[in-house]
Every structure is written in C-alpha cells, then in structure tokens.
C-alpha cells in the first residue's frame, strides 16, 4: 500500500495526542461542546417526566476556587452525567451565595474599615453597593474553573441570593414560620462576635471551634460572717466582674478543709485540687450551703439586690473545678437560666463591642479578654487568688473573622426549631446518607441536641428581616411578599431594592391603625438564604409552581462534611417545615482535602492549592480521575501532585495506548465495524464476558453511589485485563497480513470493548471518553466543525448524549472468567519468580509446577487453550499439576510475635517452639485448612494461618512463590538448547527496536543481514526462519551488505552487526 493511501486510511481513526497535550485536547472538546450545545441537549433530549433532581450548593465568588471545590464538583458532575446517560433529565441550575459576614468582612478589609461604627460612618448604602460588587470578584475565574473541569452547570441562569425575586421567596418562607408562631423575638444568651457586632447561630458556632490557651484560676470568696472561703474555679476571669451568685449541687458532698492556714469550702470529691497538706474539719450536703451569703470579689455592683448568695443547681459537675460554680447570668446559658429561676440581677457591664463599660472603672473601655491579666493581678493583690495557671481547651471563634466569641445576653429573633425536632429526626431517618454513619451518628446527634435557630444578625449586607413594628399601636407584621409591602406603602417605586437602607426608607402604614411602621433593624442568617434555595431558585410560590414541584425534593446533593451543620441542616429545617419531608433523598458529604503531609490546607499555612493551577498543568481528566480513584469521597484526601500524575497516567495512558494501537492497525487494514461478533476465540469470549460483567458491576456500584469502587473496577478492567492481558496476548492476530476471520473477530471485539470503555468511563473522565468515542464512531471531524463562526451541528454526536451501557447476560461466561482469573494469578506469581531470579521472559524454561488445595485455582489446567496461554506468556515448555509440592518445596513456620505475643504472654517462647517444630504433614494441614492445633500446658490452642509466617525453601535450580493458596514453582535450570532459544528471542527484540529506530512502519517488510561469531552465528542459522517471521524479514543473509540502515550491539560478550533495507 502506498504511503499516501496508508495516511488517508488512517484518518478514519485519527490518533490521540500524547499525554502531554491533554490540555490542548480538552480545550478542543470544550469548544465542541459549547458550539454544538451538547450540555443543553443532554438535558432537553431527556424526557421531562423522568427527572433526576440535583441541587447545587451555592459557593461565594468573592474567594478563589480551591482544589476542594474540584472534589465537590467532580463528585456532583459524575453523578449527574451518569443519571443523564441512564435516561433521566437532570436540570443543573447554578447558584451563588452572596450575602453575609464573609462578604462584609472582605469589603471591610478592602475599604480599610474596622467595625460597625466605621461602616455606618461610611454609609450603609455605599457599603452594601461595595458588597454587591465584591461577590463577583472571582466570578470569571469560577466560570473558567467550572468550564475547564467539565462540570456541566447552567451558569447562564443561576439563582443569586441577593436578587429581589430570591429575597421575596425567602420572605414568604419566613412568613410561614411567623404564621405558625415559629418566629419569635427572645432575650437569651447567644453566641456573639464582639468584632462583627452580631450574634451567630449554633450551626455557625460549630464551624469555628479551635484549641486555645486561656487562664485557669482558683479564687477565694469570703463567707459572710465566717472565717472561711468558698473556693471557686473559672477560665474566664473577666466574667467575675459580673458575678451574681455561686452554685452548688444540692446532693453533692462538700467539706470544710484547713489548708495553708485558711478554711476553704469545696466539694469533697475535688479536694485533690488543693496544694499542700489538708485537714478536713467537717462535711455537709450542698443543700445546707444554699442561702449562705459571701462578699463580692469586686465592688462595682456590691449593692445589687438579690446577689452574692449560694444557690442550688443541677448543672454543677464534679468532673473538674471545685464543685462550686461562679454564676454570671449575662454571660452563660446555664447562668442565665439559673438567674431567671432564682431572681438574680442581670449584671452586664460589657458593651456590644466587647469592652467594659464605665461602671468597671479600672478597665473601662478595655476589651474583656485583654483585661484578664490585670484582673488576675488585682485578685492576687487583694489576697483572693488561690492559684493561677493556663488551660488548653476548645473554644468557639467567629467562623469568619476568627475573633473569640462570648456568650452574651441580648434580644434576638429565633426560629423555634425545637418545636419540630421530631419532624426533623423523622425526615432525616428517610435520607440515604453516604456513608450511612454520617446521618446515623453525626447528623442525628446534631438534630437531637438542636436548639432554636438564632436567625437575626445585626449587620447590613443580607436579606432584611421582614418584620415591621407599628409606632402607634405597637403591633408587628411579617410581610410575606413585595405586593403586600407595596399595598401598605406610600409611593412604592417601580425600581426598588429590598436591601438596607432602601427597604427602611419606605413609608409603610399600619393596616390596623394607619400609623407609620418601622422595620426591625436586623438582617437574617445567610444560611437561611442558602437553605431556601429549593424554593427561592424558582421564585416560588410567586411563579414556576409546576417547575418547582417537578424539582422537589432533590435526589442527590453533595458538599463538604462540614455542611452537616451548615447547608445540609438549613435545607432540612426549611424543607421539612414547609413540606413535611426532607428536601433531599440522598446526601454524600465529602471529606477534607489535605496537603501531601496530611495537613489541612489553608492560606495562612501557605499550602493551599489553586484548582485553576492544577487544571492548567495537568488537565481536568487527570484531576478528576485522581479524585475519584484515590479513595472514597467521604474520607480525608491527601492531595499530592506527583501521585495525581502517576494515578492518572496509568489509567488515562492505558486508554490512550489501547485506542492508538487500534487506530494504527485498523487504519492500515481499513477496518470498518460491522457490529457483529461471531468469535470462538477464547480471549475474545473472555474479554467480552469480563466487559459485560464490569458493566453490570459498575452500574450496580454507581446506583449505590460507590464512586471509588466503580472507578477502580473500570481501572482494573482497562489496565489489568484489557491492556495487560487481552491486547498483549492478541497482538499477533492484528499483525497478520490477511484479514482472516480470526483477525476480523479481534478487530470487532477490540472496537466493541473500546467503545464500551468510552461510554463506561464518560461520567468519570468526560474529555478523553469523548475523544475516543468520536474517533471510533468516525465523527472526529466534528471536533473542528463549528470553529471560526461556522454553524453548529444540531445532530452532532457525543458520548454524553448516548445511553450508559447495559450488560448482556448472555455474553457473560462465568466459567471462562473463573478459569482466566486462575491463569492470571499463576502468570503473575511466575513473572514475580522470574524477576527475582533475574531470568527474562525471552529465556525459555523447561517446566512450571502449580499446586493448590482448591481445584478452582488450577481448573484452567484442564483446558489446553488456557494452558497454552500460560506456557506462551511465560515462555515455558511444560506445566505440571502437583498433588503435593513437598518434593520441591520445604515449608518452615515461624510465629508472628506481634499477633501471638499478647495472646500467650509468658508462654510465648514455649508456643514458638511448638509452632517452629511443626512437621510437613502439619504444615500441609495448616495450608489447606487455614489453621492448626498445638497443645500448650495441656490446653488445645488453635493457630490461624494469619498468625504465623510460612517460609518456603526450594531445592537448588528451582524457585517457588505463592499467591494466596496457589503455589507456583519454576524449574530455573537452563540447558544449552534453552539458552539458544532465548538468544533468538533477544535478537528478535533488538531487531524490532532497530526497525522502530530506523523509522519503519510496523507493516513494512524488510531484508536483513548479520555478522557475528560463536553462539550468535549459530542462533541466526538455527532460528533464522523464526527471526524472519517475527520481524517481517523476507530474507536473512550472513555478511556485510551495502544497505541504508545499520547498527551494532552486544549480546553478552559477543558483538552483533546488522544491515537492513525496506522492500
């Protein structure tokens, strides 16, 4: 065939670019998808009445996408692509979370502002306008990251939480809570950030805990009218300024103790906290101490009525401290509740910025935590400090600004989630959590400990809380829609913004008395915004009623595991309350992404990895495959660039090489698939069976959301079975000159399986799968169509528009698969033995012996087809089944001290002696049954195979190894005849490399000449016909020739010269 004809025929299956050009190929495919509307078609061409509902958790675009976002988006895209290929319509609406503290803090830093006073001086309108702009800081990078990752998402019509339509739906939801008395204002202890000037919800607090060092002090408070002191422990010295009472456990035992010349009162169980010698003077129940008065440790509120007395309380613990708890009702939930029950004064000399007020004269204007050292010094100076130290404990910090939180009594708005806790638990019980323990353990425990949702925030950039209070009659109204607000407002503008300050400038009249109403000043928790997205993304209930109903609830959501107390929670609270069911049926939380050393990634550590950078250097398929194949999504994942390239290159490289092999030879032979495979060839039958079994298994795994197991099943099939076994053992069939029936069957089989692999792996690696699929289908020219403004092809093919493969049960041959599995085990073990003995496969061996106590391991020996494969693969003349390998292998058993040491203790030495003395029959029993019994001190002890090491010793000239219960033994003795045959194979290998290095095509025929001495010359003479057949040589002559290609090399100590020409 002429060169130009060969080139033309190969275009039917264009070669895939090398691994290093993956990014270029991916960009070409992205343009193909976009110019031909493949994503849009993948949705619209699926039936609307068969949806798979997916919710996209909204990120914030004022931060750059990290590699952890790639993890989340890869998982979501895989599931959505799979369900699309299974025939579902999968709507994928993008979303952006645009409100809240994260945005405000970013803008504060940008504008050089610090705190609410400076924001209000700058102007709320101007500040919020900067927030509106800030949320899109990295929008282009997010779009490009999403695009390059291959995450199909409708970015053209996203839901945006700051849009009026979205806010209106959120208002309607809040109105539903209001109408059922589930939205209320209360005065409670709340987690409060002094720096941000706002309270936080419990699920926000849960995201900010960190270990920190705080003071740990013991102080003495003098009992009024007695020469004795109550001993009290605290880790928050600043709260002592607001102390109002001491609490004891009424049923606890307390003692008076003489220590260091003073009488101290504390719990009997905690006397050990005292320093030095102690003398117990007497004991009483805590109830006998209730009512006693003591002198305040600070004088600022010494005349407060009802203060400075001992009360009984059930929260007093004997696990640490002294059993006497200092109570400051303004700064702790237990304290607050006790204060209300006991009528204690609310002493709160701390402003909303966390500074002491004027009453606390020594530290007025000082931040409370900064005052701790001076307070401790003052207590010591006045003789009230018993001991001072430090304690490291978990303490809550603001999840965004990282300032320490305080528990602070103030008025806030709440959603009464405790009133429908049972509904939340019931809804959660019907969610399929992946893995189950996340829902059964972590999330259920969170719901069990649920507290009312602290909804309001004293901030600026957020959904305004839609409650108005009448200045006349005092009635409050929750406005549930823009139309309702318009109906009671004067001069409601056509163009409006529902944010502060515009919403507060409206002239709103009271429906009851006509007086002016004012909106409460707060905005709401931004987690309520994101949790409202199933409804608000479609502006429900004001429009899109049918669309909403078709898209609720979600079949699947997935975000980071930390969202168990964030978005997963807010979705459930809102959805379950409104619809009495969970808004999502399945949830897969994914683990953290760590650096290569196992450290959490963060900007401050300098180990954060940009997703865009990884995509730029390695491409999307490589990143996606690494994410999916390297470990279960819900486990913490170490990100290592070198490991990524190794993992991805093994799989993607195997697919690329398989296709390029097919492309090369199918192009040469002009192969066109007929779609029918009628092959009796064992390898064809086996690979088609394995393919269909893999399809069945992968589909089952994906249906069960076992994503990593599915990826690894595909990888095993592609690398170990299709590439390393089927194709390697079938290569000669493609090399034949004529298109025989066997060669055609090999082509049809490889074509069918490669096409199947492209479909099977499409949700995992969408780019390479598309490239292979279009090339196999003769549609590769589509990739360049539509460029340069050319019209899109509405009928363009794509692997992502195809149906996911379904297995054909009639093609699965279990017996063949089981026998071939035994073949692969034997081959693997034998290759390992050759490597250890440093004997190349090109050197033939006389015999291999196999043994197993289980017939299924060696069943393949009963069929010559299977046995031939093993002999040919391993270059072995004969295979023998051994009933007992004892004639060639001696076994020694040694105990595994790490496993048996704890069991036998002092008797281990005696047990080791018995184990090492086991005879051949006992070892045979151990190998066959997996256990053996010994008698130790008159007692029978069963030793399992896993508790010992079984060592093999082989006779000289033999090598033995095992794979589980299968034993393989090679006769490694080399006769002169075997050595000559091995040299012939070595020469074939050198000549093939000579052909390749000379630029010859694989189909080119040649003539060869050689010059050498001794054994090599004899090998050329005796094996010349074999050498010619293997190298496509029409002639082999002895002696130098004037031909264009020449080389020389050494085989052992002998020099070989070659001359070659193409014919």
**Three-state DSSP class for 48?**
coil
**Three-state DSSP class for 515?**
coil
Torsion of CA 794, 795, 796, 797, to 10 degrees: 140
Tell me the two tokens of residue 190: 């709340």
Angle at 334 between CA 328 and CA 336, to 5 degrees: 55
Tell how strand 845-851 and strand 966-971 pair up: antiparallel
Tell me the backbone φ, ψ of residue 493, rounded to 5 degrees.
Answer: -70, 155
Is the distance from CB of 403 to CB of 193 less than 8 angstroms? yes
Alpha helices, H only, 11-135:
22-35, 38-44, 67-85, 101-111, 116-122, 124-134
Q: How far is CA 306 from CA 286, 292, 725, in A?
A: 20, 12, 87
Q: Please confirm whether the linkage preceding 1058 is cis (ω < 30° from 0).
A: no
Query: Has 97 been annotated as catalytic?
Result: yes
CA distance linking residue 256 with residue 281, whole number of Å: 5
CA distance linking residue 261 with residue 1013, whole number of Å: 107
Give the Cβ contact number of residue 358 at 10 Å: 9
- Which one of the listed residues 110, 390, 430, 603 is annotated catalytic? 603
Give the Cβ contact number of residue 3 at 10 Å: 8
Is the distance from CB of 891 to CB of 950 less than 8 angstroms? yes
- Which one of the listed residues 14, 65, 97, 766 is annotated catalytic? 97
Query: Has 468 been annotated as catalytic?
Result: no
User: For residue 360, what are the contacts with CB-CB under 8 A and spacing of at least 6?
Assistant: 241, 298, 300, 349
CA distance linking residue 343 with residue 224, whole number of Å: 20
Query: Has 838 been annotated as catalytic?
Result: no
Query: Has 600 been annotated as catalytic?
Result: yes
Query: Has 142 been annotated as catalytic?
Result: no
CA distance linking residue 262 with residue 425, whole number of Å: 54
Tell how strand 406-415 and strand 453-454 pair up: antiparallel
Per-position b or e across 381-402, b if 16+ CB within 10 A of its CB: eeebbbebeeeeeebbbbbbbe
- Which one of the listed residues 152, 171, 172, 567 is annotated catalytic? 567
Is the distance from CB of 195 to CB of 398 less than 8 angstroms? yes
- Which one of the listed residues 130, 551, 563, 715 is annotated catalytic? 563
- Which one of the listed residues 14, 33, 58, 583 is annotated catalytic? 58
- Which one of the listed residues 178, 468, 527, 1059 is annotated catalytic? 527
Nearest to 568, CA basis, from 548, 594, 586: 586
Query: Has 238 been annotated as catalytic?
Result: no
Nearest to 462, CA basis, from 400, 514, 402, 527: 527
Give the Cβ contact number of residue 796 at 10 Å: 20
User: For residue 364, what are the contacts with CB-CB under 8 A and spacing of at least 6?
Assistant: 355, 356, 357, 358
Q: How far is CA 610 from CA 400, 603, 648, 978, in A?
A: 20, 10, 19, 57
Query: Has 58 been annotated as catalytic?
Result: yes
User: For residue 16, what are the contacts with CB-CB under 8 A and spacing of at least 6?
Assistant: 25, 656, 659, 660, 663, 768, 771, 772, 775
CA distance linking residue 757 with residue 779, whole number of Å: 17
CA distance linking residue 1057 with residue 1013, whole number of Å: 10
CA distance linking residue 773 with residue 768, whole number of Å: 8
321, HSE (Cβ side, Cα atoms, 13 Å): 22
Tell me the backbone φ, ψ of residue 1035, rounded to 5 degrees.
Answer: -150, 145
DSSP string, 228-248: -EEEEEES-GGGGGG--EEEE
3-state helix, strand, coil in the chain (%, to 5): 45, 20, 35
* Active site positions, annotated: 58, 97, 527, 563, 567, 600, 603
């Amino acid at each position: 065939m002429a060169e130009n004809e060969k080139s033309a025929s190969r275009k039917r299956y264009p070669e895939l670019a090398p691994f290093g050009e993956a990014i270029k190929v991916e960009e070409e495919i992205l343009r193909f998808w976009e110019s031909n509307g493949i994503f849009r078609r993948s949705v619209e061409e699926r039936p609307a009445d068969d949806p798979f509902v997916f919710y996209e958790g909204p990120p914030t675009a004022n931060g750059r996408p990290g590699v952890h976002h790639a993890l989340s988006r890869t998982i979501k895209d895989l599931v959505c692509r799979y369900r699309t290929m299974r025939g579902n319509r999968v709507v994928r609406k993008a979303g952006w979370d645009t409100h809240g503290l994260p945005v405000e803090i970013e803008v504060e830093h940008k504008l050089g502002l610090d705190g609410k006073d400076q924001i209000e001086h700058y102007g709320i309108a101007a500040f919020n306008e900067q927030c509106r702009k800030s949320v899109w800081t990295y929008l282009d990078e997010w779009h490009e990251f999403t695009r390059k990752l291959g995450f199909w998402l409708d970015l053209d019509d996203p839901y945006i939480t700051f849009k009026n339509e979205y806010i209106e739906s959120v208002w309607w939801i809040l109105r539903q809570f209001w109408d059922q008395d589930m939205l209320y204002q209360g005065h409670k202890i709340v987690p409060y950030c002094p720096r941000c000037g706002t309270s936080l919800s419990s699920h926000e607090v849960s995201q900010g805990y960190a270990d920190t060092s705080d003071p740990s002090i013991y102080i003495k408070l003098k009992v009024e009218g007695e020469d004795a002191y109550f001993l009290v422990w605290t880790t928050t010295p600043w709260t002592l300024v607001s102390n109002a009472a001491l609490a004891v456990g009424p049923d606890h035992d307390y003692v008076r103790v003489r220590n260091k010349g003073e009488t101290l009162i504390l719990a009997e169980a905690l006397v050990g906290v005292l320093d030095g010698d102690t003398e117990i003077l007497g004991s009483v129940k805590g109830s006998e101490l209730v009512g006693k008065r003591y002198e305040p440790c600070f004088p600022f509120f010494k005349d407060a009525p009802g203060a400075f007395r001992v009360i009984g309380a059930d929260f007093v613990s004997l696990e640490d401290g002294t059993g006497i708890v200092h109570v400051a009702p303004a700064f702790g939930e237990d304290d607050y509740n006790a204060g209300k029950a006991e009528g204690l004064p609310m002493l709160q000399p701390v402003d909303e910025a966390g500074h002491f007020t004027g009453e606390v004269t020594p530290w007025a204007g000082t931040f409370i935590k900064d005052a701790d050292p001076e307070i401790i010094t003052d207590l010591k100076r006045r003789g009230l400090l018993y001991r001072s130290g430090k304690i490291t404990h978990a303490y809550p910090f603001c999840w965004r600004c990282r300032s320490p939180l305080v528990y602070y009594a103030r008025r806030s708005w709440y959603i009464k989630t405790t009133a429908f806790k049972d509904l939340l638990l019931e809804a959660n019980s019907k969610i399929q959590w992946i893995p189950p323990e996340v829902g059964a353990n972590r999330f259920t425990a969170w719901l069990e400990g649920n507290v009312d949702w602290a909804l309001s925030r004293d901030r600026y950039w957020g959904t305004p809380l839609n409650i108005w209070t009448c200045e006349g009659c005092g009635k409050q109204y929750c406005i549930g829609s823009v139309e309702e607000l318009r109906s009671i407002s004067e001069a409601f503008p056509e163009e409006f913004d529902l944010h502060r300050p515009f919403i507060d400038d409206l002239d709103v009249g009271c429906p009851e008395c006509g007086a002016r109403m004012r909106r409460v000043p707060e905005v709401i928790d931004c987690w309520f915004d994101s949790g409202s997205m199933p409804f608000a993304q479609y502006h429900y209930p004001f429009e899109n009623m049918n669309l909403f109903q078709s898209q609720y609830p979600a079949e699947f959501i997935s975000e980071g595991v930390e969202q168990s107390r964030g978005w997963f929670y807010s979705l459930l609270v809102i959805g379950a309350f409104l619809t009495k069911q969970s808004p999502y049926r399945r949830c897969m939380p994914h683990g953290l992404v760590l650096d290569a050393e196992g450290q959490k990634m963060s900007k401050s550590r300098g180990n954060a990895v940009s997703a865009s950078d990884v995509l730029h250097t390695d491409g999307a398929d490589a990143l996606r495959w690494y994410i999916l194949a390297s470990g279960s999504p819900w486990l913490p994942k170490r990100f290592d660039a070198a490991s990524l390239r190794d993992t991805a290159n093994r799989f993607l490289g195997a697919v690329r090489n398989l296709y390029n092999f097919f492309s090369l030879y199918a192009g040469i032979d002009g192969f066109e698939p007929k779609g029918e495979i009628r092959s009796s060839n064992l390898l064809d039958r086996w690979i088609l069976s394995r393919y269909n079994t893999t399809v069945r298994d992968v589909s089952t795994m994906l249906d069960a959301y076992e994503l990593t197991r599915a990826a690894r099943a595909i990888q095993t099939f592609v690398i170990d079975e299709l590439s390393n076994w089927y194709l390697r053992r079938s290569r000669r069939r493609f090399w034949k000159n004529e298109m025989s029936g066997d060669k055609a069957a090999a082509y049809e089989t490889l074509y069918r399986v490669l096409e199947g692999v492209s479909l099977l792996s499409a949700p995992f690696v969408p780019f390479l799968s598309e490239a292979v699929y279009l090339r196999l289908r003769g549609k590769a020219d589509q990739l360049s169509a539509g460029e340069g403004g050319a019209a899109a092809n509405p009928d363009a093919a794509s692997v992502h528009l195809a149906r996911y493969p379904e297995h054909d049960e009639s093609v699965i041959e279990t017996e063949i698969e089981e026998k071939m599995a035994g073949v692969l085990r034997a081959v693997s073990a034998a290759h390992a033995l050759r490597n250890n003995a440093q004997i190349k496969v090109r050197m033939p061996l006389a015999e291999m012996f196999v043994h197993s106590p289980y017939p299924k391991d060696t069943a393949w020996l009963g069929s010559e087809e299977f046995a031939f494969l093993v002999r040919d693969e391993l270059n072995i003349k004969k295979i023998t089944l051994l009933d007992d390998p004892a004639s060639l292998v001696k076994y020694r058993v040694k105990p595994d001290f790490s496993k048996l040491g704890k069991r036998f203790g002092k008797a281990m030495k005696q047990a080791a002696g018995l184990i090492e003395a086991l005879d051949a029959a006992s070892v045979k029993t151990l190998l066959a049954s997996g256990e053996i019994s010994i008698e130790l001190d008159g007692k029978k002890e069963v030793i399992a195979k896993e508790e010992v090491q079984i060592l093999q010793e082989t006779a000289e000239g033999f090598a033995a190894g095992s794979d589980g219960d299968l034993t393989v033994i090679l006769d490694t003795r080399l006769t002169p005849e075997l050595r000559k045959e091995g040299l012939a194979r070595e020469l074939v290998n050198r000549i093939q490399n000579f052909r390749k290095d000379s630029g010859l095509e694989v189909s080119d025929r040649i003539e060869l000449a050689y010059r050498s001495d001794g054994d090599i010359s004899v090998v050329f003479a005796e094996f010349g016909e074999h050498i010619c057949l293997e190298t496509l040589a029409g002639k082999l002559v002895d002696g130098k020739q004037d031909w264009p290609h020449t080389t020389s090399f050494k085989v052992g100590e002998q020099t070989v010269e070659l001359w070659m020409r193409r014919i």
